[in-house]
Amino acid sequence: MASQRVIVYGGRGALGSKCIQHFKSNGWWVASIDMAANEEANENVIVKLSESFTEQAGQVTADVAQLLGEHKVDAILCVAGGWAGGNCSSKDLYKNTDLMWKQSVWTSTISSHLAARHLKPGGLLTLAGAKAAQSGTGGMVGYGMAKAAVHQLCQSLAAKNSGMPSGAAAVAILPFLKMYDKKLHIASDGSGISYITIHSRNQSCLPAGVTLDTPMNRKFMPDADFGSWTPLEYIAEMFFNWATGTNRPASGSLMQLLTSGGETQAVAAQ
């Protein structure tokens, strides 16, 4: 096993795959956690579908412990997530909220426990939040609740007695969503992540401007301004820099990704 190691939760998705490629190209050992294997990873932990959080969390935790043994990792990148809309009057409110919780809160919580158990002192944990969840999200209630919970988790992990290893940092990225009122047959999460793919039908409020530049987002929004979308390569390189101690934000930071004219900046959310 290489001396530097990273776990990518959501490693089969567009962003997760790019992270695996980037870290491997720099000589790191990489493990993917997802519902299907990423063949480019050194090792894979396959998540079993379950309606029970404790059951799924226990399975992933046990499988990762068996995989790593006594080895510690330098970074855990949680890039699992998804998107579904709907307000409080939606017939799909319960279903979509349940999905959002599974995709964002379950995965982030599991990742935090993996960090407590397997991250090296001074290591890095990243989580996937959302800029929209910093205020009310009337047209996507479940999504907003789940992402706000991720923000809270990130800040809690930076607090005293969080259980994180000494000197380790938890940082969340916040993709930005512009909203519009229109009915579509498919929508993509701002992260472009495929941990569980959601096809949301007949929602009244959907993302119009998605920051992450993924093949799926380009396919379904061919007329968008791609110059305002954040390249996956930028995020993978940013994570790599943070993992190696370069320009790493303080633990608990919520980092917006702002792209304009093909130039991207990571800026602390206010």
Within a domain: 220:
no
- The CATH number linked to 153 is 3.40.50.720
pLDDT tens per residue, range 94-147: 999 999 999 999 999 999 999 999 999 999 999 999 998 999 999 999 999 999
In the set 9, 94, 143, 180, the catalytic residue is 143
The reply to whether 195 belongs to the active site is no
Mean of pLDDT values over 142-154: 97
Q: Are 146 and 104 in contact (CB under 8 A)?
A: yes
Please state, as a whole number, how many other Cβ atoms lie within 10 Å of the Cβ of residue 93.
Answer: 15
Within a domain: 166:
yes
Within a domain: 219:
no
168 pLDDT above the threshold of 90: yes
pLDDT tens per residue, range 201-217: 333 344 434 467 677 77
Q: Please tell me the predicted confidence (pLDDT) of residue 177.
A: 58
Percent of the chain with pLDDT over 70: 84
Q: What is the domain extent for residue 246?
A: 5-174+232-256
Within a domain: 225:
no
DSSP structure string for 70-90: T--EEEEEE-------B-TT-
End-to-end CA distance of the chain: 40
Mean of pLDDT values over 178-193: 38
How far lies 80's CA from each of 9, 109, 195, in Å? 6, 11, 5
* Chain position carrying tokens 């919580």: 109
Residues 6 or more apart whose Cβ sits within 8 Å of residue 269: 131, 134, 174, 254, 255, 256
18: part of which helix (H) or strand (E)?
A: helix 14-25
SS3 82: coil
Q: Please tell me the predicted confidence (pLDDT) of residue 195.
A: 35
Give CA–CA dist 184/155, Å, rounded. 35
- What are the two backbone dihedrals, phi and then psi, of residue 22, each rounded to the nearest 5 degrees? -65, -45
Give CA–CA dist 17/232, Å, rounded. 10
Taking alpha carbons only, the member of 19, 73, 9, 41 closest to residue 235 is 19
Higher pLDDT, 61 or 81: 61
| Structural domain count of the chain | 1
* Chain position carrying tokens 């079993």: 48
Q: Mean pLDDT score of the chain, rounded to an integer?
A: 86
Within a domain: 210:
no
- Quote the pTM value: 0.88
Mean of pLDDT values over 157-186: 77
Within a domain: 241:
yes
Mean pLDDT is lowest, of 62-71, 104-113, 175-184, 215-224, for 175-184
Confidence of residue 161 (pLDDT cuts 50, 70, 90): very high
Within a domain: 121:
yes
Q: Are 232 and 240 in contact (CB under 8 A)?
A: no
Confidence of residue 32 (pLDDT cuts 50, 70, 90): very high
Within a domain: 227:
no
Percent of the chain with pLDDT over 90: 69
* Chain position carrying tokens 């909203």: 179
Instruction: Tokens for 261, please give them.
Output: 């004219």
Count, residues in the chain: 270
